[in-house]
Amino acid sequence: MTYNWGVDRYELGNAYGHIAIEVEDVHAAVERIKTLGGKILREAGPMNAGTTLIAFVEDPDGYPIELIGARQVAGGC
C-alpha cells in the first residue's frame, strides 16, 4: 500500500487500479461470492497468455479485485 502526502480523499478511478489475492480454488471463490450477492466482472478461467486461473470481482466501492489460483509448488508444498 502507499500513502500520498497531501491527499485526504480519493475518487473512484484515481486511487489505484486493482489488487490481486491468491485463492486456493478460483471457481469455488467465484461461486461463493455470487452466492453472497457479489458482482463478478470476469468469470474464472485461464489467463490469455498462460494456464494460471484468474477471475475479477468488484468490491463495494467499485474497484476490481483479481482472484489468482494458488500455484502448485514442486513437491506438494
By annotation, the residues acting in catalysis are 66
Nearest CA to 45 among 60, 30, 63?
30
